[in-house]
Amino acid sequence: MTTRLLEKLSYVSLIIAALVVSGSAVYDRAIVRSEGRAERLNQTKRLGLEGVNWAAYKETIVLTLNTGCHWCSASAPFYRELTAIKNAHPDLQLIAVFPQSVDEANRYLRAKDIGIRTVLSRPSEELFVSGTPTLFAVGSDGLIKETWVGYLDDNRKNEALAKVASLLGGKV
């Protein structure tokens, strides 16, 4: 009887291990694919957001988010940090772009205490974004200077903040 139980437990363990390995491979492939897609967009150099006056600001950070995105919600403290930087630098513009309606997006931002005033509703495909969150640093000429795809760990957050600081003349 104990042999059968051990046998069943070993089968279950093998199945779980296989699921973890295959899930990890699928996740890694999705990240590589989305980063490659963002890189291709970065090489085209222009972010297609009609109606945005890029020239009114020295720099713009565009956050493509989704109200149902777990990683977007987990990144809320980072986005609050970006809004604090924006508040200290009037030459920085923050834009949040959602596939949901502007009203739904504003409710989401208020619930997360993220003070971004410019909120747009666009399909993700219109921005060539394969996943959320995706952030773009865009110059006053509308050209993309940097792209960050996915949830940013502490190192990538620091890299993004350093890039924003350098775009603003080294002060954040």
CATH number at residue 85: 3.40.30.10
71 domain-assigned: yes
CA distance 65 to 76: 11
The reply to whether 47 falls in a domain is yes
146 within a domain of the structure (yes/no): yes
Mean pLDDT of 109-117: 96
pTM for this model (two decimals): 0.73
> Quick one: 137 exposed, middle or buried, by C-beta within 10 A (0-12, 13-18, 19+)?
buried
pLDDT at residue 92 in the model = 95
Q: What is the extent of the structural domain holding 62?
A: 40-167
The count of domains in the chain is 1
Tell me if 12 is assigned to some domain.
no
147 falls within a domain: yes
Q: Which pLDDT value is given to residue 98?
A: 96
Give the pLDDT mean for 4-22.
Answer: 61
For the chain, give the DSSP string.
Answer: -HHHHHHHHHHHHHHHHHHHHHHHHHHHHHHHHHHHHHHHHHHH-B---TT--GGGSSEEEEEE--TT-HHHHHTHHHHHHHHHHHHH-TTEEEEEEESS-HHHHHHHHHHTT----EEEE--GGGGT--SS-EEEEEETTSBEEEEEES---HHHHHHHHHHHHHHTTS--
Q: What is the pLDDT of residue 131?
A: 87
Identify whether 123 is part of a domain. Answer: yes
Q: How far apart are CA 139 and CA 144, in angstroms?
A: 7
Q: What is the pLDDT of residues 151-169, one digit of tens each?
A: 999 999 999 999 888 888 8
pLDDT at 33: 39
Determine, yes or no, domain membership for 131.
yes
In a domain, 120, yes or no: yes
Least confident range from 37-46, 119-128, 139-148: namely: 37-46
Percent of the chain whose predicted confidence (pLDDT) is above 90: 58
